[in-house]
Amino acid sequence: MNDKWISIIKPLADIGAKVLNGFALMTGIRAFQEPCFRPTGRGVRALPISFYYRQFETHTCAFTAALTVLWFFKPEANSKRLYELIDCDPEQGASYLDIVTSLKACGIVVKRWTRLTFAGIAGAIDEGCPIIASVEATFGDHWVVIYGYGRKPDRVFVLGLGLLPFRNRPPVPWSMFKSGWHPMGNGLICSVKQR
């Protein structure tokens, strides 16, 4: 996105962020569920995640990504406890360590990889393990969940990308995902058993 568009969109995004942050503060509602339709097709593998969480607060994408993973494995888990454990900072959000320690406290096994490749992502998905990763977004880093992949051409299916609800599941070409992956190769492979 070029600087002209950012200069137009940023003030509007800031107003929207204040409204959503205020809504979350007043109601205690931190996220909302969005259905996740499982992609199909030749060469496609995806986890059976039935819904994803979208954030209301601008700094809680780590919480919503972690909550999506937690409820994939443990649908009875307490979202309020996870929110308190992650304790997203209003200015900085949350770090890899915040996510790892919070999910581990909830019984999820988390392995941090620093040299993850497409083959590594495919292997994790094949074993039933979603991956939390950080990508560059328009206004800063953003946490997403990789829940599927496709081959010929190589692509990944990512929850948490996009501004509008119900628009976050188109496949992302592998080359495009790599260019926005920050830091590239980093990912949290999540499971309920040791890999």
| Amino acid 124: pLDDT | 98
Q: For residue 106, give the 3-state DSSP assignment.
A: coil
Task: Tell me yes or no: is domain 3-191 CATH 3.90.70.10.
Answer: yes
For the stretch 87-97, pLDDT in tens is 988 888 899 99
Of residues 164 and 15, more confidence is placed in 15
Average pLDDT over residues 77-100: 91
Closest by CA position to 156, among listed 131, 191, 137, 188: 131
| Amino acid 12: pLDDT | 61
| Amino acid 174: pLDDT | 96
For the stretch 152-181, pLDDT in tens is 999 999 998 765 454 556 789 999 999 999
The phi-psi region of residue 166 (left if phi > 0; otherwise alpha if psi is between -120 and 50; otherwise beta) is left
- Assess whether the previous peptide bond of 165 is cis (omega < 30° from 0): no
| Amino acid 9: pLDDT | 59
Q: What is the mean pLDDT of the chain?
A: 84
| Amino acid 156: pLDDT | 96
The phi-psi region of residue 22 (left if phi > 0; otherwise alpha if psi is between -120 and 50; otherwise beta) is alpha
Of residues 47 and 24, more confidence is placed in 47
For the stretch 112-124, pLDDT in tens is 999 999 999 999 9
| Amino acid 166: pLDDT | 47
Closest by CA position to 35, among listed 138, 150, 168: 168
Six-digit token string for 57? 């607060």
Residue spans per domain, the chain: 3-191
Of the pLDDT bands very low, low, confident and very high (cuts 50, 70, 90), residue 101 is: very high
